[in-house]
Amino acid sequence: MLCLILSGCQFTTTIFTGARKITTILIDDRCFSDDLKDIQINMSLQEEFVKIDPKLGLDISITVFEGKVLLTGSIPNIDIIQQILEKTWSTPDVKQVYNYIRIADPPSLDVVNMDAAISGSIRTQLTFTRHINSSNYKLTMENGALYIMGIAKNQAELERVISVIKNTSGVNEIINLTRFRKK
């Protein structure tokens, strides 16, 4: 790990958070300490959510980028959603919370698998599309909605990213939570 820190290499790691969710962590253009904070926030929230209800590890997806937390998933109980939000806001280094948790039963395994296949396809397309630094984007797919977090180099790069997503079958909605790189 120290070698990677010193060399500034980019790498991809996949953490299996349960039978249903897979979280991909990408080390991107940001400094390593920012990436590490995001990883720590994510892990802390996963631990806290499981204390509320063990099923939350499967029903809620947590994506963290620059201290901004995206929460997606389906929970049938509004009281649990309130507890999730309170825990999220009280977590150190959390700067913003995007709450996209729906009050509903969790989606079927078929829907979850379809979302995973579509987001994987998009990730692959972004990786091989010229003039897109795909490691600067985190994608979360939930029930046909694709959430994008990250840093766009410029408007043209963001338009290329959006174009790839729009041209992918199965994406019903795009929620853009990106920002532009500071000059």
Measured distance CA(175)–CA(171) in Å, rounded: 11
Instruction: Report percent pLDDT > 90 for the chain.
Output: 73
Measured distance CA(25)–CA(36) in Å, rounded: 10
- Residues 72 and 116 both lie in one domain: no
- Contacting residues for 96 by C-beta, under 8 A, at least 6 apart: 67, 68, 69
- Contacting residues for 47 by C-beta, under 8 A, at least 6 apart: none
- Residues 11 and 59 both lie in one domain: yes
Range of the domain at 138: 109-180
Residue-wise pLDDT for 119-174, tens only, equals 999 999 999 999 999 999 999 999 999 999 999 999 999 999 999 999 999 999 99
Instruction: Report percent pLDDT > 70 for the chain.
Output: 82
pLDDT band at 179 (very low <50, low <70, confident <90, very high): very high
- Residues 91 and 70 both lie in one domain: yes
Q: What is the mean pLDDT of residues 42-68?
A: 93
- Residues 87 and 127 both lie in one domain: no
pLDDT at position 10, please? 36
Please give the C-alpha separations between residue 2 and each of 24, 32, 178, in angstroms, as whole numbers: 20, 11, 29
Among 17-21, 75-79, 105-109, 167-171, the range scoring the smallest mean pLDDT is 17-21
For the beta carbon of residue 112, count every other beta carbon within 10 angstroms: 18
- Residues 7 and 88 both lie in one domain: yes
Which of 58, 75, 103 terminates a domain? The answer is: 103
- Residues 92 and 129 both lie in one domain: no
- Residues 22 and 88 both lie in one domain: yes
Which of 68, 103, 138 terminates a domain? The answer is: 103
pLDDT at position 58, please? 86
CATH number for the domain spanning 13: value is: 3.30.1340.30
- Residues 37 and 65 both lie in one domain: yes
Of residues 28 and 92, more confidence is placed in 92
- Residues 99 and 128 both lie in one domain: no
If one counts the domains in the chain, the total is 2
Strand partners, 47: none
CATH number for the domain spanning 155: value is: 3.30.1340
- Residues 92 and 122 both lie in one domain: no
